[in-house]
Amino acid sequence: MRKVLFIIVAAMLAAACGGGSSSWAVKHKGKDVTFAKTFGYANFRPDLQQGQIVIANFEPEIKSESVMGIPDTQKAGEAFVGIYFKTNNQADYKNSVKAGDVSDNIGSVWISNGDTKDRVSFAESGKTAGKLVITEVTETTIKGNISVTKGDSSISGPFEAKIIKKTP
């Protein structure tokens, strides 16, 4: 009985501390990429009418107030997904990203993989096939679900990202 209780408590602690994201799936050139933990960051660029999100399996260094400055990873075991989309409320300059389906506004999606030291881009002339739904936007986080596939590479699952900059 004590072992069962210990296992339950350990599982609850792991979930509470962000330990694992089994529903986040990334496939890079036909091979699964491990995202045991996810680190998410986002910024909104009303001047470009764009939302920018990065989900990584490591803590990326952000040198500016933009996720655009994160270079492709060159370290084995590290990978990240970049997502750019046009905002769904362009008339409201300061609060340009709202909850809703922005699938038709996906600008680009890519996977940067340190194991192979390259990236797979999902952007094709501004038309990316897939689904991107923003479920919640607060002052500090953006949450949603994404599912995009191109050839033998894909990303899918729920995401949560800390907003590092909301206005220009």
Residue 89 banded pLDDT, cuts 50, 70, 90: low
Amino acid code (one letter) for 117 = K
pLDDT at res. 143: 96
Give the chain as a DSSP string: -HHHHHHHHHHHHHHHTT---TT-EEEETTEEE--SS-EEEEEEETTTTEEEEEEESS-----SS-GGGPPPP-STT-EEEEEEEE-S-TTSSTT---SEE-GGGEEEEEEEETTTTEEEE--STT---EEEEEEEE-SSEEEEEEEEEETTEEEEEEEEEEEEES--
pLDDT at res. 146: 95
Kindly tell me if the per-residue pLDDT of 75 is higher than 70: yes
Residue 1 banded pLDDT, cuts 50, 70, 90: very low
Residue 94 banded pLDDT, cuts 50, 70, 90: low
Of residues 161 and 6, the one with the higher pLDDT is: 161
pLDDT at res. 20: 40
pLDDT at res. 114: 93
- Tell me the C-alpha distance between 115 and 34, whole Å: 11
Predicted confidence (pLDDT) per residue in 102-154, tens digit: 888 888 899 999 999 999 998 765 667 799 999 999 989 999 999 999 999 99
Q: Which of 114, 14, 106 is nearest to 60 (CA)?
A: 114
Kindly tell me if the per-residue pLDDT of 67 is higher than 50: yes
Query: Mean pLDDT over residues 42-71, rounded?
Result: 85
- Tell me the C-alpha distance between 29 and 111, whole Å: 10
Phi, psi of 68 (to 5 degrees): -65, -20
